[in-house]
Amino acid sequence: MPLSPRHLMAAIELAGTSFDSLAKQVGYSKQNLHHLAHRGRRCRRSLRHKLAVALIVPEGWLVGDKGLPWPTVWLEHYRLRRPSKVGVPNKTPPVALLASWRFLERCARAIKGEYRKRPDLDPGSVEDSLVNLLSPGVWRTLLLRLGPADHVLRARQLDEIVPLLVTCLEVILQPWIEGKAPIKLARLVELERMMGLPVPGT
């Protein structure tokens, strides 16, 4: 079955696991697993399924940018804005993408609660507002005077920074995530305006 080594490696990095530990979990040799994560293109369906379960990712993720139902607007914006080689489209930083998806999955129950309380909200607006907080470039735009392209970070920088921002926000928003405190949606909208981002309904 098809396999994306780039996305497998991103899941391993984000999980913070070793090849040795993962190989034991899925019943596969460490050497062969290392090859899959760097140069592999195909593997058995059963192995891909075991890897998805062990790494807590949708199986479609291991094929490519598939199986992630949440919007990741700023990452797509990054991909389109970043200079690319002629005829070679930019790729979305995989660790940053997966970390963003996991953050929104963690917030899923709280997000659904906001839509139940506020049926007037645009579909996807809460997710977009939250995921924008994970953009280092957006924070740069808010805090610094920059040229048009100075807010664009390198892919590797995003893969390093976004998981850290996710950790920070999960701790900060924990009472809301656990249903113990309401979120101030008006403050999120205000922050988006400060960052120069489009706000639904305005």
The pLDDT of residue 78 is above 80: no
Give the mean model confidence (pLDDT) for residues 150-160. 81
CATH number at residue 32: 1.10.260.40
Q: Mean pLDDT score of the chain, rounded to an integer? A: 83
Query: What DSSP assignment string belongs to 40-107?
Result: --B--HHHHHHHHHHHT--GGGGTSS-S--S--HHHHHHHHHS---TT------HHHHHHHHHHHHHT
SS3 label, residue 2: strand
| Within a domain: 53 | yes
| Within a domain: 68 | no
CA distances 53 to 4, 56, 101, 107, 154, Å, are 16, 5, 16, 20, 30
Our CA dihedral for 188, 161, 11, 103, rounded to 10 degrees, sits at: -20
Give the mean model confidence (pLDDT) for residues 97-106. 89
The pLDDT of residue 180 is above 90: yes
The CA distance from 136 to 201, in Å, is: 25
Q: Which of 21-35, 59-73, 181-195 has the lowest mean pLDDT?
A: 59-73
SS3 label, residue 18: coil
Verify that 100 and 15 share a domain, yes or no. no
Give the pLDDT score at 75.
63
Give the mean model confidence (pLDDT) for residues 60-66. 80
Verify that 160 and 179 share a domain, yes or no. yes
CB–CB of 131/103 below 8 Å? yes
Place of tokens 């994306």: 4
Final residue before a domain boundary, out of 62, 81, 100: 62
56 is in which domain, residue-wise? 5-62
Structural domain count, the chain: 2
Verify that 187 and 144 share a domain, yes or no. yes
The CA distance from 47 to 51, in Å, is: 6
Give the pLDDT score at 65.
66
202 band by pLDDT with thresholds 50, 70 and 90: very low
Give the pLDDT score at 46.
94
| Within a domain: 199 | no
Verify that 56 and 102 share a domain, yes or no. no
| Within a domain: 202 | no
